[in-house]
Structure 1
Amino acid sequence: MECRFFSPPGRLRAGICCPSAHIGILACILVVASVPSMASGEVQPASASGSTAITLDTIQVKGQGVDARSSAYSSDRFGSADIAAERVSDVEALFRNIPGMTVRYFGYGGVASSTVIRGFGGGGHGGDLGVAVDGIPLNEANSHADGYVDVQILVPLEIESLTVYRGPVSALYGNFNRGGLVAFNTRKSGEYRELDVSAGGYGTFDAQAALGASPGERHQLNVAAQAFHTDSFRAQSTTERRTGALRYGFAPTERTEVSVSTRVHKTIADNASRITRAQFETDPFGIDPRTRNDGAIKDFKTLRGDINFSPSSDLHILSFAYSTRQQFTRFFTRPVSADEFLQREETYDRDVYGLGTSLNASAMLLGRPVVFVVGVEGFSETTEFQFFDGLDNRRRVAPALSDRESVIDSRSAYFEANVDAHRFLDLSLGARYDRFKGTCRPLGPEAGNNPCDTLESIDNISPKLGISSQLSPWLKLRGSYSEGFALPGGFTKYAPGAQSLDPNQIAQTELGVLVTPTDSVSLDAVAYRISSTEEFRAVAPGEFENFGSTLRNGLEMSARWQASDAFDVRAVYGQARSRVRINANPALLGKEVTGVPEKTATLNLGWDPTQPLRLDASLRHVGKAWIDTANTRRASGYTTLDLGASYLFQTRAPVRAYIKIDNVLDRRYTTASGVSFGTELLTPGAPRQFTIGAQVGF
Structure 2
Amino acid sequence: MRPSTPLRTTLAAACWLACATAPAWAQTETVVVTGSPRAQRVMDAPFAITSIDATALRNAGPMVNLSEALVAVPGLVVNNRNNYAQDLQISARGFGARAGFGVRGLRLYTDGIPATMPDGQGQVAHFDLAGAQRVEVLRGPFSVLYGNSSGGVIALFSAPVTRAEAELGADAGSFGLRQARASVAAPLGQGFDLRASLSTLETDGFRPQSAADRRLANVRLGWQGASDRVVLLVSDHAQDAQDPLGLSAADLRADPQGTAAVATQFNTRKTIAQTQAGVNWRHQFADGGVLRESSLSLHSGQRSVVQYLAIPAATQANVRHGGGVIDFDRRYEGVEARLQFGWPGVDAVAGVALERQTDDRLGYENFTGTSAAPTALGVQGRLRRDETNTAESRDAFLQADWALGPSLSATAGVRSGRVAIDVNDRYISGLNGNDSGSLRFDYTNPVLGLRYTAAPGWVLHASVARGFESPTLGELAYSADNSGFNKTLQGQTSRQAELGSKWRSAALDVDATVFVVNTDDEIGVRSNTGGRSSFQNVGRTKRHGAELATTWRPATGLKLQAALSWLQAEYADGFSTCTSAPCPTTANPAVAVPAGNRIAGTQRALAWAQAAWRTGPLGGEWALEWRATARTMANDLNTAAAPGHALAHLRWSGRLALGAADSLELLARVDNLFNRDHVGSVIVNDGNGRFYEPGAPRSLLLSARWQHRF
**TM norm. shorter chain > 0.5:** yes
Displacement after TM superposition at 1:552 (Å) = 0.7
- Which residue matches 1:686? 696
Counterpart for residue 598 of structure 1: 604
Alignment partner, residue 26 of structure 1:
none
Counterpart AA for 2:542: L
Contact 1:451/1:492 (8 A) holds in 2 = no
CA contact (8 A) 2:79 2:89 kept: yes
**How far 1:646 sits from its partner (Å)?**
2.0
Give, in angstroms, the shift of residue 493 of structure 1.
Answer: 5.4
Measured against aligned partners, the alpha-carbon deviations of 1:285-322 in whole angstroms (never above 9, x if no partner) come to 22222222111100000122222111129822110111
Secondary structure of 1:490's match? coil
Could you tell me how far apart the structure 1 residues matched to 2:538 and 2:250 are? 38
- Note closer, same or farther for the CA distance 1:426–1:55 as it changes in structure 2 (3 Å cut): closer
Displacement of 1:346 in angstroms is 1.7
CA 1:568/1:274 → structure 2, altered by over 3 Å: closer, same or farther? same
Task: Tell me the residue number matched to 2:72.
Answer: 97
Structure 2 SS opposite 1:582: coil
Q: CA deviation at 1:377?
A: 1.0
Aligned twin of 1:218: 191
The match for 1:411 among 383, 394, 413 is 394
Q: Which letter maps to 1:353?
A: E
Structure 2 distance, partners of 1:637, 1:544, is 28
Is residue 106 from structure 1 mapped to residue 81 from structure 2 by the alignment?
yes
Q: Which 10-residue stretch deviates more, 290-299 or 451-460?
A: 451-460
**Separation in structure 2 between the aligned mates of residue 638 and residue 323 of structure 1, nearest angstrom:** 42
What is the Cα deviation at residue 407 of structure 1? 1.1
Classify 1:181/1:337 alpha carbon distance in 2 versus 1 (closer, same or farther; 3 Å).
Answer: farther
Aligned to 1:300: 274
Establish whether residue 634 from structure 1 lines up as the match of residue 641 from structure 2: yes
**How far apart in 2 are the matches of 1:615 and 1:275?**
36
Matched to 1:209, the amino acid is A
User: What residue number does 2:10 align with?
Assistant: none
CA–CA distance in 1 between the matches of 2:189 and 2:573? 63
Per the TM alignment, residue 89 of structure 1 is displaced from its structure 2 partner at its CA by 2.6
Kindly report which structure 2 residues correspond to 1:163-562, keeping only aligned pairs within 5 A, or say none.
Answer: 163-170=136-143, 172-178=145-151, 180-191=152-163, 192-251=165-224, 253-291=225-263, 292-312=266-286, 315-333=292-310, 344-364=324-344, 369-388=345-364, 391=367, 392-400=376-384, 402-445=385-428, 452-490=435-473, 503-516=491-504, 518-535=505-522, 548-562=539-553
Letter in 1 for 2:678: Y
1:6-32: per-residue Cα shift (whole Å, max 9, x none)? Answer: xxxxxxxxxxxxxxxxxxxxxxxxxxx
Structure 1 residue 578 corresponds to structure 2 residue 552: no
Asked if the contact 1:656–1:695 (Cα under 8 Å) also holds between the matched residues in 2, the reply is yes
Q: Secondary structure at the match of 2:70?
A: helix
Deviation, structure 1 residue 56: 13
Secondary structure of the residue aligned to 2:262 is coil
Say whether 1:119 aligns with 2:94. Answer: yes
What residue number does 2:652 align with?
A: 645
- 1:657 is aligned to 666
Aligned equivalents of 1:348, 1:429: Cα separation in 2: 40
More off after superposition, 479-488 vs 669-678: 669-678
Equivalent pair of 2:247/2:693 in contact (CA under 8 Å): yes
Task: Give the Cα separation in 2 of the matches to 1:461 and 1:524.
Answer: 30
Q: Residue 237 and residue 678 in structure 1: after superposition, are their counterparts in 2 closer, same or farther (change >3 A)?
A: closer
Question: What whole-Å deviation, never above 9, does each CA across 1:253-275 have from its counterpart, x for those lacking one?
Answer: 41122332211010011122222
Instruction: Report which stretch shifted further, 321-330 or 288-297.
Output: 288-297
Structure 2 Cα separation of the partners of residues 177 and 126 of structure 1:
11
1:421 deviation in Å?
1.5
Deviations 1:331-370 (A, max 9, x none): 23268999x9x99322221001211111234431xxxx22
1:218–1:250 CA contact under 8 A, matched in 2: yes
Q: Give the alignment partner of residue 148 of structure 1, picking from 121, 126, 132.
A: 121
Q: CA deviation at 1:181?
A: 0.9
CA contact (8 A) 1:360 1:373 kept: yes
Partner-residue secondary structure (3-state), 1:476: strand
Q: Tell me if structure 2 keeps the 8 A contact 1:479–1:510.
A: yes
Partner of 2:115: 138
Quick one: which amino acid aligns to residue 413 of structure 2? G
State how many pairs are aligned. Answer: 631
Matched residue SS, 2:253: helix
Distance 1:334 1:665 in 2: 37
Instruction: Report the aligned-residue RMSD.
Output: 3.3
List gaps (5 residues or longer) in structure 2. Answer: 1-18, 368-375, 527-533, 577-591
Secondary structure, counterpart of 1:151 in structure 2: coil
The alignment-based identity, stated in percent, is: 19
Work out the CA distance in 1 between the residues paired with 2:535 and 2:247. Answer: 35
User: Aligned-pair distance for 1:238?
Assistant: 1.2
| Segment drifting more, 204-213 vs 600-609 | 204-213
Q: What displacement does 1:439 show?
A: 2.3
Asked whether the 8 Å contact 1:66–1:372 carries over to 2, the reply is: no
2:371 aligned partner? none
* Paired residues of 2:56 and 2:69 also in contact (CA < 8 A): no
**Structure 1, gaps ≥5 residues long:** 1-50
Relative to structure 1, the CA distance from residue 305 to residue 665 in structure 2 (aligned partners, 3 Å threshold; closer, same or farther) is: same
Q: Counterpart amino acid of 1:281?
A: R
Give the distance between the partners of 1:451 and 1:592, measured in 2 at CA: 37
CA gap 1:689/1:538 in 2 versus in 1, 3 angstroms = closer
What is the Cα deviation at residue 449 of structure 1? 6.4
Q: What is the CA distance between 1:248 and its match in structure 2?
A: 1.1
Give the Cα–Cα distance (whole angstroms) in 1 for the partners of residues 231 and 343 of structure 2. Answer: 27
Question: What letter matches 1:304 in structure 2?
Answer: G
Query: 5 Å matches for 1:611-630?
Result: 611-612=617-618, 613-630=620-637
Contact persistence 2:356–2:391 (CA under 8 A): yes
